[in-house]
Amino acid sequence: MIKINRDQFVFSMDKDNPPVAKAQSGDRVIFDLMDCFSDTVTSEADTISEIDFNKINPATGPLYIEEADVGDVLKVTIEKIQLDDYGAVMTAPGLNKYFSENISEEQTVICSINDDEGTFEFQGVTLPMNKHIGVIGTAPAGEGVTTGTPRMHGGNMDNTQIKEGSVLYLPVYTPGALLAMGDMHASMGDGEVWGSGVEVGGEVTVTVEILKDSTIPTPFVETETAYYAFGAADNMEEAVTIASDHLHRFIMEEAGLDFNQAGMLMSIKANLAPCQIVNPDVSFRFGIDKDILGKAKDFKG
Ligand code: CA
Ligand code: CA
């Protein structure tokens, strides 16, 4: 199987990045990921002010997929996520931007992780994980975009639904697609409101496939039970509008509904959620359950 080690990484998603490995549509690939601090935080004495901000959010890759042409859709099935055995939660003044009182002291908490049990230890207490991939994307169409930024090529989406068993659909803007990923979390709440999740490295096994003539509004996530459209921008209004438009379009096509039927269905049964609202660029998802969408096919207009 193709494996890309964690010493092969980029700090921007860029069509000019040379690929570090090649795959064909249908191949399984292992991406070995550093955590978002480039594995430099190993104790609670390592605080944010000591971090090299040139080394934030390394993304392993990029992977070139032979069949990928501009306009295709890259389907990434997340087969397995295996986390390293410890992670770090960090905060610092200014990171809690939606609270009235600012953080006065930076702090790091190291968490041991028990991936087999699906748990981690936070300050002596065992909590359940919701492990997922924070940064994953293809190369954008124009200029390169830093791996810390979410955009419509993916990137720093921080979407908790990009998890084991999920299928992620990404746009292809450049031949080969140039898939890269990093910034795993053992756990993160929607919004990431104090600035970090449980940041952790590990191994991700994916299957990559190229879809020709797909109209799916990328980036898009399919889980066992639901579909999620996605929107990212430098302001909440635009990010929410993109996610709303994308889910609306998907529902109309998938269930054969008209404009108002699809919109009213979203109003009564779809759920908008923040992915991450603490970085300069924010991201949202808009989801609907598969069983609801199945029933909607029988709507009588
Ligand atoms: Ca992130
Ligand atoms: Ca992170």
Q: For residue range 115-137, list pLDDT tens digits in order.
A: 999 999 999 999 999 999 999 99
239 membership: H or E segment, kind and range? helix 236-255
Q: What is the pLDDT averaged over residues 143-148?
A: 97
Q: What is the pLDDT of residue 43?
A: 93
Q: How far is residue 180's CA from residue 189's CA, in Å, rounded to a whole number?
A: 23
Q: Minimum-distance ligand to the CA of 199?
A: 2
Both tokens of residue 41?
């935080």
Q: What is the pLDDT averaged over residues 133-154?
A: 97
Q: Residue 184 C-alpha to ligand 2 middle, in angstroms? A: 6
Q: Count other Cβ atoms within 10 Å, centred on residue 43.
A: 9
Quick check: 179 pLDDT over 80? Answer: yes
Q: What is the pLDDT of residue 184?
A: 98
Both tokens of residue 30?
């292992």
Quick check: 283 pLDDT over 90? Answer: yes
Q: Residue 133 C-alpha to ligand 2 middle, in angstroms? A: 9
Give the model confidence (pLDDT) of 22-72 as tens digits.
Answer: 999 999 999 999 999 999 999 999 988 888 888 899 999 999 999 999 999
Q: How far is residue 71's CA from residue 203's CA, in Å, rounded to a whole number?
A: 29
Q: Residue 274 C-alpha to ligand 2 middle, in angstroms? A: 15
- DSSP β-ladder status, 271-276 and 86-91: unpaired
Q: How far is residue 301's CA from residue 284's CA, in Å, rounded to a whole number?
A: 30
Beta bridge partners of 126: 121
Q: Read out DSSP for 111-156? A: EEEETTTTEEEETTEEEE---EEEEEE---SSS-EETT-EETTEEE
Q: Residue 151 C-alpha to ligand 1 middle, in angstroms? A: 12
Q: Residue 210 C-alpha to ligand 1 middle, in angstroms? A: 26
C-alpha angle 287/58/77, rounded to 5°? 40
Q: What is the pLDDT of residue 149?
A: 96
Q: What is the pLDDT of residue 207?
A: 98
- Looking at every residue in the chain, the average pLDDT score rounds to 97
Quick check: 215 pLDDT over 90? Answer: yes
Q: Residue 12 C-alpha to ligand 1 middle, in angstroms? A: 14
Q: What is the pLDDT of residue 132?
A: 98
Q: Say whether 220 sits in a helix, a strand or coil.
A: strand
Q: What is the pLDDT of residue 228?
A: 98
Convert 106-144 to b/e letters by CB count within 10 Å (16 or more is b): bebebbebebeeebbbbeeeeeebbbbbbbbbbbbeeee
Nearest to 204 by CA among 181, 221, 227: 181
Q: Residue 291 C-alpha to ligand 2 middle, in angstroms? A: 32
Q: Residue 168 C-alpha to ligand 2 middle, in angstroms? A: 18
Q: Residue 165 C-alpha to ligand 1 middle, in angstroms? A: 20
Give the model confidence (pLDDT) of 284-297 as tens digits.
Answer: 999 999 999 999 99
